[in-house]
Structure 1
Amino acid sequence: MHAASRDALSHSFVSLDAIVGDDVAAAATTGTELFEVVELLDGNRQLRVALADQAADAESRTRLVDDVFGGKVAGTTLDAVKAAAGRTWSTPRQFRTGLVAIGRRAIFRAAKAEDQLGQVEDELFQLARLLEREPRLTQLLSDATVDGDRRRSLAASVLYGKVSKYTEALVLQVVGRPEHGPVDDVDALVAEAAEFSGREVAHVVSAGELDDRQRQALAEKLGRVYGRDISVHTQVDESLLGGATVKVGDERIDGSLRGRLNRLRAQMV
């Protein structure tokens, strides 16, 4: 995002937090309805441009929000959209992106208020790993020739009864309007969920299952290395032979036996 949009988003986050507070129902409703607002804007370029028109004053833009959405969404959703429309965004596209981010934040707030944010983060991580193992499903969910509603319906059938309502709402949003691909988009949600709790994600692949004590010890060690709280998510890959690989942000540390053997072979060539 450009500087103006980053500032607008920051202020919109503050407004959202004040609007929904710790009210679980209000936060959940606001998040899901903001995603619906984005769907409408995606199909109406003229309205999207008008709501982010820098030539129009803030009062005119918020009045337009009232005219279009008043009585059609909850009061908290209306207030959140008005707060965003009243800010200056660099482009209509970034305004749209901002509304998605605000909607996600509302969902994260609802999950946190119900003490489910950690569960949501883990469910998202596990779903991303499932998509990596199931290329056919990933292909179907990213097929641009299939409309968003059908992709969401497929995702809903996969998720039904297996994840929380918050995880489902977040995933259906990214499946309906993908930014990159299903795996990358869901992994981005994992990172956002962790960031909302003030943490960064560590993706750990180990040769064997790590128990709670080992995960906690690893989180503490990585926290000291990176100077911030770390959220550890693990998966097992027996082909590593021993040890583990750790990915934090763009940095990858290979401490696996397979990695050491590969490096040794390279040195002997």
Structure 2
Amino acid sequence: MRGLSRTALAEAEERFNAVAASADLGTLAEELFAVADLLDREHGLRRNLSDPARPAEQKEQAARGLLQGKVGEAALETVVAAVRAKWSRTSDVPDALERLGVTAAAGEAESAGKLDDVEDELFRFGRILAANPDLRRALSNAGISGERKQELLTGLIGGKVAPATLRLVTQLVVHPRGRSLESALEEFGWIVARTRERLVGVVRTAVPFTEAQKQRLAAWLRTTYGRDVHLNVEVDPEVLGGFSVKIGDDLIDTTIAGRIEEVRRRLTG
């Protein structure tokens, strides 16, 4: 987000942080997702609630009239803070509410000691989609109802992942909001990692890391970047040997395949 929307998001986040402390975070996540989805569907309502020309008091009154008694106090106060702010684009409002919903789900996981699990499970779900084109097509098919997709997800990962993971995956599958599943998973993973201001590193290796190896690499990266780095490890036989780590735009490549490619570039350069 840029300009006015960046400031507006900060204002909404400040109010969210104040009210979320005493809320059921799982419920708060669901309610913020529901309001975001409502504003996505109802373009006229979204325009009215985000029109910078309308007084903030009028927009607050409209939001309260619409949502009072239908969502909890924490969700209502978060939405009110969002509609009172001034946004660069009307679509930034549901984007912000969904983002805060993801933050609430991450907080739910952290309270249960499951935040690491959620990060790992989101990453693994992406690998499941990559390995199962039929499943990906079914979950991306606009002709299949949201209820049916939710049933598929419950049967596939229900009871096998943290409640917050199922909540997040259900949101991005049932309400893709114009995104691919892959980009939505990456976006949600980034927001979850941000809960503890951590970086995310994708490790590619020919053989699985032991827990000790993973911890040593994480410690070295923490020293290098000055921040904790959550590692998602992907086993890829094409690596041949060694490993690579991608953190944002940075690539640390110690793989044999990487060295071969470097030699090839030098010879043909």
TM-score by length of 1: 0.92
SS at match of 1:204: strand
SS at match of 1:162: coil
Tell me, yes or no, if the aligned pair for 2:99 and 2:191 is still in contact at 8 Å: no
Unpaired runs of 5+ in structure 1? Answer: none
1:58, CA displacement in angstroms? 1.1
Q: Quick one: which amino acid aligns to residue 3 of structure 1?
A: G
Q: How does 1:234-249 map to 2 (within 5 A)?
A: 234-249=233-248
1:266, CA displacement in angstroms? 4.6
CA distance in 2, matches of 1:248, 1:171: 23
Deviations 1:102-126 (A, max 9, x none): 1111111222122211111111111
Tell me, yes or no, if the aligned pair for 1:203 and 1:234 is still in contact at 8 Å: yes
Deviations 1:56-99 (A, max 9, x none): 11111111111111111112211111121111112210111111
1:267, CA displacement in angstroms? 4.3
| Counterpart position of 1:29 | 27
CA distance in 1, matches of 2:37, 2:132: 28
CA distance in 2, matches of 1:44, 1:263: 52
| Counterpart position of 1:170 | 168
Deviations 1:171-198 (A, max 9, x none): 1111122243112211222221111111
Percent sequence identity over matched residues? 33
Please list every run of at least 4 consecutive aligned residues from structure 1 whose deviation after the TM superposition is greater than 4 angstroms. Answer: 265-269
CA distance in 2, matches of 1:205, 1:52: 44
1:139, CA displacement in angstroms? 2.1
| Counterpart position of 1:193 | 192
Structure 2 residue 225 is matched with structure 1 residue 262: no
Tell me, yes or no, if the aligned pair for 1:4 and 1:88 is still in contact at 8 Å: yes
| Counterpart position of 1:211 | 210
CA distance in 2, matches of 1:112, 1:55: 39
Q: How does 1:1-269 map to 2 (within 5 A)?
A: 1-21=1-21, 23=22, 26-178=24-176, 179-268=178-267
CA distance in 2, matches of 1:268, 1:52: 57
CA distance in 2, matches of 1:164, 1:152: 16
Tell me, yes or no, if the aligned pair for 2:35 and 2:94 is still in contact at 8 Å: no
CA distance in 2, matches of 1:134, 1:227: 37
How large is the RMSD of aligned CA atoms in angstroms? 1.8
Give the count of matched residue pairs: 267
